[in-house]
Chains A and B, each alone.
Chain A
Amino acid sequence: MGILEVKDVNKRFGGLQALGDVNLSVQENTVHAIIGPNGAGKSTLLNCLVGKLIPDTGSVLFDGQSVLGRTPHEINQMGISRVFQTPEIFGDLTVMENMMIPCFARRDGAFRLHAIEAVENEAELRDQAEAMLDDVNMLDKRNMHSASMSRGDKRRLEMAMCLVQNPKLLLLDEPTAGMARADTNNTIDLLKEIKEKRDITIAIIEHDMHVVFSLADRITVLAQGTPLVEDTPENIKGHPKVQEAYLGESH
């Protein structure tokens, strides 16, 4: 039994079958990549996992509990963190404040009205946040206005914000989309480092085969809303069905 079990998930948008009988099992402490051509339903699947969309039929179990019908923040509290295609951070806040918010979310679990205490006095949370920033080599940028940083730094910050929550499952939505080669390689290194340092399961949606084959332990190929194959990277590389699905796309 994997940490994430997707069973017979279907999702239609009007006449379009976005997901058809998707079954997926992500094992604990692995990196599981979901690949597929444009329009294969990758993003729809991801949105079903985090509570943004609700599948028409089927079930999604995380850690043995159903996530269906829960809101994104509840699902996050269950232990799923999500990294977006374009970094979603609190642009008006400093890097350190960006880090403090997930620290509060993790400690408090839900709404707490800390209206009179000073943020400055939360020494324990500050230490956590700073340690995490150090891990992603951003400690020197702690007082920077986060909107003014480069895209690569924003991506780093977003990952640090997700990781400081100590999630059981980290979902990455095309984390290198639109990135230059050097930034892509940096991101791969960062993810490898994360994987080595902690017990974490990573599910990654990716278009870039270089990224996928450098990181993934298992790969699921999605085409037209249905999984074609699931296997190890080595086996996927030469799989005829995969080449067929990608035919016409230059990979």
Chain B
Amino acid sequence: MLGLEKKDATLLLIVFGLTMLAPFLLNPFPEGSAMAQFNAGYPDLMQRFVIFGIFAIGFNILFGLTGYLSFGHAAFLGIGSYAAMWMFKLFGMNVIPALALSVVMSGLFAVLIGYVSLRRSGIYFSILTLAFAMMSYALAYSVLATDMDGPDRQGLLQKGLTGGETGLQLTLQDPRILGQKAAEDGNLPVPNIFGLEMRSSAELELGNWVFTFSAGYYFSAVVMLIAFYLSIRIFRSPFGMMLRAIKSNQQRLNYTGLNPKPYTLAAFVISGMYAGLAGGLMASMDPLAGPERMFWTASGEVVLMTILGGAGTLIGPVLGAGAIKYMENILSKINSDILHGWFAFLPDGLEDFVVAIIYPFIGKGWHLTLGLIFMAVVIFLPGGLVEAGQRVARMFRGKKAEDDSKSASTEPAE
């Protein structure tokens, strides 16, 4: 199917099913129940799942295949967002051209940054990418936000190219030469795809359950599926094989008559374009682009996602992105009152004790849990969640199946 082997086609179908049914699957608990706070099936969070999924899939093409650890990929995320915003401001609110420009612009910057950074490898490469991203951040934060002189002083560029600290926002003065300048009610127009607004949604009530189907989520999900499909093709292509060869032994590749540089640069640019696409989608869901999107912590986040899910595996980065965004949005909401509610059945002293133990790891302390899990993954599970899943599956399948999976594990990781 679609030029994929059976195993990969199955994986793609499963991911397709999961993303399409996500509004149901992520809302398993009825409205108003004690567990409802664990529901993740609201559009805003689901959009973040798939958008960061795209970001991580792209990062994985670079890090997972070639082993080059970039600590500055958020720069491309930011560039994608700014590019999309300018498309919204200048031409119109249709997201397709906006995303196209996001991808092109981030690709161009990736060529530039990648060409320079890839002249070094190892930790030097990491530091170079970090330096470039922090420079982009500083430029977006201050330099490109200074007023421009000229007749346009009151208009489009009144806050520079990037809008500085507050970020780049839509205004009613924007020209939008191909679209409407303002919505019919006089408010700011909304990003749409040929008229279908990204924020429009339909609700379905089934008993105590409420399911929300948002246009923005489904659009992002389709983009993610395309991105995921392309990444499978890249993993299975001669290009993907070359990238793994580079990670494995650059010297041998050199003495096999191939220069590793163009391959790594191509991987860098492709993964930068993925990041730009994710950035463009972020701006399409919520028309705003700020410099904090390029800060190095944002680059660190995609590293965490990819490793946590399983670097070099196909589905790992998506799982990692989902896990981290779930923790960030759900785990972080649990406060001590909720904990006390859960453990109310315990005797008072014990209740307080249990809550005191758990409390540092949830709520605002969710980063602590993340850090611990991440360390555990790096130390014990280099294959991340995917490897954990494989091990569990192996345990259940028993001894005979174990032999099969051993021979299967010699094949390229999925």
Whether A and B touch (Cβ < 8 Å) is answered with yes
Provided the pairs A73-B258, A76-B256, A165-B257 are in contact, do residues A116 and B242 lie with their beta carbons within 8 angstroms? no
Distance (whole angstroms) from the CB of A174 to the closest CB of chain B: 16
Q: Determine whether the beta carbon of B257 is less than 8 Å from that of A105.
A: yes
Q: How far is the CB of A105 from chain B (nearest CB, A)?
A: 4
Q: Is the CB of A118 within 8 A of B3?
A: yes
Q: Is the C-beta of A213 less than 8 angstroms from some C-beta in chain B? A: no
Residues on B with C-beta less than 8 A from A100 are 238, 241
Q: Taking A50-B255, A71-B254 as contacts, is the C-beta distance between A119 and B244 under 8 angstroms?
A: no
Q: In the assembled complex, how far is the CB of residue B244 from the closest CB belonging to chain A, in whole angstroms? A: 6
A114 to B270, CA, bound (A): 13
- Closest CB in chain A relative to B114 CB, distance in Å: 14
Whether B142 sits at the interface, judged by CB under 8 Å, is: no
Stretch among A3-11, A90-98, A196-204, A214-222 lining the B interface: A90-98
A92 to B241, CA, bound (A): 10
Note all chain A residues with C-beta closer than 8 A to B252. 88-90, 161
Interface footprint category on B: 35 or more
* Chain B residue contacts of A94, Cβ below 8 A: 410-412
CB pair B263–A76 under 8 Å, yes or no, is no
Question: In the bound complex, how far is the Cα of B412 from the Cα of A165, in angstroms?
Answer: 24
Please classify how large the interface on chain A is, using the bins under 10, 10 to 19, 20 to 34, 35 or more.
Answer: 35 or more
Asked if A119 and B257 sit within 8 Å, CB to CB, the answer is: no
How many A-B contacts at CB < 8 Å in the complex? 114
C-alpha gap A101/B253 in the complex (Å) = 8
With A90-B248, A111-B259, A113-B266 known as contacts, the answer to whether A97 contacts B254 (CB < 8 A) is no
In the bound complex, residues from chain B placing their C-beta under 8 Å from that of A102 are: 256-257
Are A101 and B241 in contact, with the CB atoms below 8 A? yes
Residues of A within 8 A of B253 (CB): 73, 90, 101
Q: Are A115 and B259 in contact (CB under 8 A)?
A: no
Given contacts A77-B257, A111-B263, A120-B236, contact A92 B5 (CB under 8 A): no
Cβ of B329 < 8 Å from any Cβ of A? no
A110 adjacent to chain B (CB < 8 Å): yes
Within the complex, the shortest CB–CB distance from A20 to chain B, in Å, comes to 27
Known contacts being A114-B239, A143-B411, is A88 close to B266, with CB within 8 Å?
Answer: no
Are the C-beta atoms of B241 and A97 separated by less than 8 Å? yes
**Chain A residues with CB below 8 A from B258, complex form:** 73, 101, 104-105, 110-111
Nearest CB on A from B346, distance (A):
50
Report the separation of the CA atoms of residues A100 and B252 in the bound assembly, to the nearest whole angstrom: 13
> For residue B176, which residues in chain A have a CB less than 8 angstroms away from its CB?
none
Q: Is B245 an interface residue when CB atoms closer than 8 A count as contact? A: yes
Chain A residues with CB under 8 A of B256: 73, 76, 101-102, 105, 161, 165
With a CB–CB cut-off of 8 A, which chain A residues contact B255? 50, 72-73, 76, 81-82, 88
Give per-residue flags for A112-136: 1 if the beta carbon is below 8 A from chain B beta carbons, else 0. 0111111110100000000000000
Contact (A115, B249) CB under 8 Å given A72-B254, A101-B256:
no
Closest 4 CB pairs between A and B?
Answer: A76-B257, A111-B262, A92-B248, A114-B238
- Given A93-B248, A101-B258, 20 other A-B contacts at CB below 8 A? A50-B255, A73-B258, A76-B255, A76-B257, A77-B257, A91-B249, A97-B412, A101-B242, A105-B258, A110-B259, A111-B262, A111-B263, A114-B239, A115-B233, A115-B270, A116-B234, A116-B237, A118-B236, A165-B256, A165-B257
